[in-house]
Structure 1
Amino acid sequence: MALGMLKAAPAHAYNLEGKGNGKRVIILGAGLAGMTCAYELTKLGYNCTVLEARERTGGRCWSIRNGSKHGELDKPAVTASFDEGLYFNAGPSRIPHHHQLTLHYCKELGVPIQVYNNVNESAYYYAEGKGPLSNKKIRNREVHNDIRGYMTEMMAKTMDHGNLDAGLTKEDAEKVIEYLMAEGGLDIDKLYKASARRGYLESPGAGNRPGKIADPNKLADLIHSGLMDPDFYNVAEYTYELQMTMFQALGGMDQIAKALEKKVAPMLKMSAEVTAITNLPEGVKITYKDAKGEQVINGDMCICTLPLPVLSNVNNNFSPEVSKAIDFISYNQTGKIGLQFKRRFWEEDENIYGGITHTNNDLTQIFYPSYDYLSKKGILIGYYNFNEKAERVGELSFTDREKLALQKGRLIHPQYDQEFERSFSVSWHKTKYNQGGWAVYSNTTRKDYYPALLKPDKNVYFAGEHLTYLNAWMAGAFESARSVVASLHGRVTEARVAYPDTNVKG
């Protein structure tokens, strides 16, 4: 590596040969996928133009700050009034450590990153209902350790009776039981009893202060209170994408979009809403409208990164196969609200530094910021919800969303009433140029429709997180962009080799 003979990471291996020689590529959408396509194609000598309907770049990679403006399909525009320096990520907020390409672009573009605390055993579960543990906030570590303890106790007892796996030798079974006892914190009799793992009622300290441990919750109480329901109980570290270590861009995820914007700024046409995409015998024609009215721009090729619900309303002459795919692939409903508080009470009063509180009500999740610890003020993500819950909340006015977030949130944090200052909410499925959070595939749509968009429709290519198996992640946008750039460039350079004396198009 010191001699330059070996690349430092696989994500760097993107050395495409040949030049674009000024071929004109029209890119639709200035989100991460669109700007990455423009960035990489420009390196190869293409002449790119990026059309973006909004007045900002980044698409769903958007951090809400003081002065941020947002309107939804059925609501007037509003402007955020957070204190200077405060923000929350309305779109992506986390980078898994194994998303090498995302981290590569952070490094290449000079975007500093910091650790994101996704897993916090000090956050809470809160189940509304009629069970013995309902309507109480319970620390994650208490729920996790109680359930793990009871499950391992049952398995250990089963092993004792030889009922789990007849194929195990006696020595094998003993090893399994040893593991279960360690995993669940069982005592010498293979029974689960509370330990320091689930925290203290009174913390240990100096002198005659050994600490006081609470009794465990009863298994039946956990079950009857819904704390073991599969759509509610969640251990984030079990999910591959959410396993630590995770990262975030220092100062907000929009720093990634802003860094890309600087690289492609001369190519950007903002406030340019695409209304038609037309494949020509040679090249492509894009019709869009801006402040001056209807405009037309021609290119040799086009890369379309528009979300499919938006693209379905754009006039085109795509093939029936592609048109059907655009209409049949669905996106989810999702929304977030940022709540500014005058005091970081979750840190000062409850020792919560980052992580997530889970609920079974319409909030679904409360996210605690993993930055600016111990500073004076902060912004919580007061809800992050999906599908039916997000649809219900999205129908509310901005004011009523705030009321809901405060009404349900104060059940967990009564400090809301004293400390709350202001809010800002985004429902992505209600947002004009998104109309959804991210692509959601069934086995049928992945098999029958997804493949049609992986190849170009004549001179139009498609890119975005919806054309990967990394849906909802920034890595999907980056991976798709690189894949499409390689495909387009390969077509151009192969055509030039086949017809060296002509300027082949299409």
Structure 2
Amino acid sequence: MLALNLLPAAPAHAFNLQGSGKGKHIIILGAGLAGMTSAYELTKLGYQCTVLEARTRTGGRCWSIRNGATAAETNNPQQTARFDNGLYFNAGPSRIPHHHQLTMHYCRELGVPLEVYNNVNESTYYYAEGKGPLSNKKVRAREVHNDMRGYMSELLAKAVDQRKLDTGLTQEDAAKVIEYLRAEGGLDVDKLYKASARRGYMEAPGAGTHAGKLGDPLRLAEIIQSGLLDPDFYNVAEYTYELQMTMFQAVGGMDQIAKALEKRVVGNLKLGAEVTAIQNQTEGVKITYKDQKGTHELTGDLCICTLPLPVLGNVNHNFSSDVSRAIDFVPYIQTGKIGLQFKRRFWEEDEQIFGGITHTNNDLTQIFYPSYDYLGKKGILIGYYNFNEKAKKVGELTYQEREKLALQKGQLIHPQYPKEFEQSFSVSWHKLPHSLGGWALYNSDERKTHYAALLKPEKNVYFAGEHTTYLTAWMAGAFESARSVVASVHGRLSEQRLSYPSVGSN
């Protein structure tokens, strides 16, 4: 029926709300993905929208650093990126899971092309500083992963053989489990783990009689003693639901998504407009903001606030105590990244690393290799991506000190750093005035109290953003929250148009 045009196609995540918002004015605070998506969907319905954004750019935390990008932090002056044209790194979100269907939907609807993001790469390294036998050496991820898979399979196979498992297995079932373990762990006929091609070669196979040379497996005790089973390392990305392949990224940088949204709502945007007060009124809402021309007041029927909670905490408001507590007490993660531009892509040329992540137990935490422009002349690594105490420590440094740290620690893994390095640009999200954190963190109790308070309208103010979803830290959280709040706002105003209650009713 679809082929014969007898049945209209239902696109993924179609948003077909009925009714018109003509004559109603919605004020939206923040021009990140949640704010601009809200404006985009509301203007389709006929609403007048005004989007106030304190920054002089859109996108919020969806920010790609390229030549000319600027930022000033609470403890550091303004810096300007001096990368070569065409090079960039994503300071905020860098990955799109294939099952984040709404993110994929908006990329399709907005015409943002995607490319594969290589999140899982067995050629990257583990690097542990310490006193273990494998410490202060870079070890390929494939060696650790396959050796541990082999050793664990061998131990479990022995336990099955000796009937040491709590679960009761018939002899036939046990044989099937052992066959699985032999395949999973690469065990020999005696159910012992020995090195195989899975963990790579000391000498690669080639033509003629060159069969290749296998290395010996890392000893289990050495892996343990060197800390390579600690949480810093043994986070196998492909096991995590959000990080399972296939993953995607926007061609040319994640900010292309924000720029595509900006084009759809550009007539509704006021950039450089910092909100200083939000006041619920008997009917409608009054917003006070300041820009280069002074202080202004703006009134509307309803407000959608997408400001990060640490930022909202510095805004005057007349919210209820439950909402005020949520704003004040929901923590945001401390996190930071640094982009390092190099003269050549030595990680590809010298070490055959194309995308993926190297893990460390030092202040770098992670090194990300670019998943675009393979075999290009130059490239930008994310020289560290750290969190919590490590991010707090690094965030206190000057830009120059962060660069020095990234180069000193990074060259322990890649000795090419000093010769090939050119430029850097670092971002500590908890130090950026209009962000003050990476993303919201909730425990189970906070989900029942603070989180729940933010899901309800505060009289004429609605809240949206990743902090109002279970998808914190993901662009999908912004999109999902925008869809939810637009449906709520439109439902409320549509009902009012039919039943004629006051605008201020809750």
What TM-score do you get using the length of structure 1 for normalisation?
A: 0.98
**In the alignment, is residue 5 of structure 1 matched against residue 7 of structure 2?**
yes
Q: What secondary structure, in the 3-state scheme, does the structure 2 residue paired with 1:432 have?
A: coil
CA distance in 2, matches of 1:503, 1:322: 23
Gaps of 5+ in 2: none
Residue 495 of structure 1 deviates from its aligned partner by 1.5
Deviation per CA, 1:401-455, whole angstroms, max 9, x where unpaired?
Answer: 0000000000000000110001000000000000000001111211111000001
Q: What secondary structure, in the 3-state scheme, does the structure 1 residue paired with 2:115 have?
A: strand
Deviation per CA, 1:9-64, whole angstroms, max 9, x where unpaired?
Answer: 5422x110111122000000000000000000000010000000000000000000
Decide whether aligned partners of structure 1 residues 503 and 44 sit closer, same or farther in structure 2, where only a CA change above 3 A counts: farther
Check whether the contact 1:335–1:390 (CA below 8 A) recurs between aligned residues: yes
Q: How does 1:287-436 map to 2 (within 5 A)?
A: 287-436=288-437
Q: What secondary structure, in the 3-state scheme, does the structure 2 residue paired with 1:78 have?
A: strand
CA distance in 2, matches of 1:8, 1:242: 28
Identity of aligned residues (%): 75
Residue 74 of structure 1 deviates from its aligned partner by 1.1
Question: Does 465-474 or 438-447 show the bigger shift?
Answer: 438-447
Q: Please tell me the residue identity of whatever aligns with 2:330.
A: I
CA distance in 2, matches of 1:110, 1:4: 27
Q: Please tell me the residue identity of whatever aligns with 2:404.
A: K
Structure 1 residue aligned with 2:481: 480
Residue 8 of structure 1 deviates from its aligned partner by 4.7
CA distance in 2, matches of 1:427, 1:505: 40
Q: Please tell me the residue identity of whatever aligns with 1:94.
A: R
Say what the alpha-carbon RMSD is for the aligned residues.
1.1
Q: What secondary structure, in the 3-state scheme, does the structure 2 residue paired with 1:313 have?
A: coil
Q: What secondary structure, in the 3-state scheme, does the structure 2 residue paired with 1:175 have?
A: helix
Q: Please tell me the residue identity of whatever aligns with 1:340.
A: Q
Gaps of 5+ in 1: none
Deviation per CA, 1:352-390, whole angstroms, max 9, x where unpaired?
Answer: 000000000000000000000001000000000000000
Structure 1 residue aligned with 2:465: 464
Q: Please tell me the residue identity of whatever aligns with 1:56.
A: R
Structure 2 residue aligned with 1:206: 207
Check whether the contact 1:127–1:360 (CA below 8 A) recurs between aligned residues: yes
Check whether the contact 1:496–1:503 (CA below 8 A) recurs between aligned residues: no
Check whether the contact 1:334–1:390 (CA below 8 A) recurs between aligned residues: yes
Q: Please tell me the residue identity of whatever aligns with 1:475.
A: A
Q: What secondary structure, in the 3-state scheme, does the structure 2 residue paired with 1:484 have?
A: helix
Deviation per CA, 1:247-275, whole angstroms, max 9, x where unpaired?
Answer: 00000000000000000000000100000
Structure 1 residue aligned with 2:154: 153
Deviation per CA, 1:148-190, whole angstroms, max 9, x where unpaired?
Answer: 1101100000000011144211100100010011000000000
CA distance in 2, matches of 1:380, 1:229: 25
CA distance in 2, matches of 1:101, 1:449: 26
Check whether the contact 2:304–2:461 (CA below 8 A) recurs between aligned residues: yes
Decide whether aligned partners of structure 1 residues 166 and 33 sit closer, same or farther in structure 2, where only a CA change above 3 A counts: closer
Q: What secondary structure, in the 3-state scheme, does the structure 1 residue paired with 2:288 have?
A: strand
Structure 1 residue aligned with 2:139: 138
**In the alignment, is residue 95 of structure 1 matched against residue 101 of structure 2?**
no
Q: Please tell me the residue identity of whatever aligns with 1:147.
A: M
Residue 234 of structure 1 deviates from its aligned partner by 1.6
CA distance in 1, matches of 2:75, 2:122: 39
Check whether the contact 1:54–1:271 (CA below 8 A) recurs between aligned residues: yes
Check whether the contact 2:283–2:502 (CA below 8 A) recurs between aligned residues: no
Q: What secondary structure, in the 3-state scheme, does the structure 2 residue paired with 1:421 have?
A: strand
Check whether the contact 1:146–1:217 (CA below 8 A) recurs between aligned residues: yes
Structure 2 residue aligned with 1:186: 187
Q: How many residues align?
A: 503
Deviation per CA, 1:124-148, whole angstroms, max 9, x where unpaired?
Answer: 0001100000000000000000111
Q: What secondary structure, in the 3-state scheme, does the structure 2 residue paired with 1:337 have?
A: strand
Q: Please tell me the residue identity of whatever aligns with 2:25.
A: R
Q: What secondary structure, in the 3-state scheme, does the structure 1 residue paired with 2:187 have?
A: coil
**In the alignment, is residue 489 of structure 1 matched against residue 490 of structure 2?**
yes
Structure 2 residue aligned with 1:108: 109
Structure 2 residue aligned with 1:242: 243
Check whether the contact 1:344–1:377 (CA below 8 A) recurs between aligned residues: yes
Structure 2 residue aligned with 1:49: 50
Structure 2 residue aligned with 1:61: 62
Q: Please tell me the residue identity of whatever aligns with 2:90.
A: N
CA distance in 2, matches of 1:418, 1:361: 22
CA distance in 2, matches of 1:111, 1:151: 44
Question: Does 488-497 or 355-364 show the bigger shift?
Answer: 488-497
CA distance in 1, matches of 2:146, 2:255: 37
Q: What secondary structure, in the 3-state scheme, does the structure 2 residue paired with 1:331 have?
A: coil
CA distance in 1, matches of 2:420, 2:481: 43
Residue 231 of structure 1 deviates from its aligned partner by 3.5
**In the alignment, is residue 264 of structure 1 matched against residue 265 of structure 2?**
yes
Question: Does 30-39 or 157-166 show the bigger shift?
Answer: 157-166
Q: What secondary structure, in the 3-state scheme, does the structure 2 residue paired with 1:306 have?
A: coil
CA distance in 2, matches of 1:166, 1:87: 53
CA distance in 1, matches of 2:343, 2:102: 37
Q: Please tell me the residue identity of whatever aligns with 1:271.
A: G
CA distance in 1, matches of 2:423, 2:285: 47
Check whether the contact 2:126–2:138 (CA below 8 A) recurs between aligned residues: yes
CA distance in 2, matches of 1:39, 1:166: 55
Residue 6 of structure 1 deviates from its aligned partner by 5.2
Q: Please tell me the residue identity of whatever aligns with 1:61.
A: C
What TM-score do you get using the length of structure 2 for normalisation?
A: 0.98
CA distance in 2, matches of 1:232, 1:350: 20
Q: What secondary structure, in the 3-state scheme, does the structure 2 residue paired with 1:158 have?
A: helix
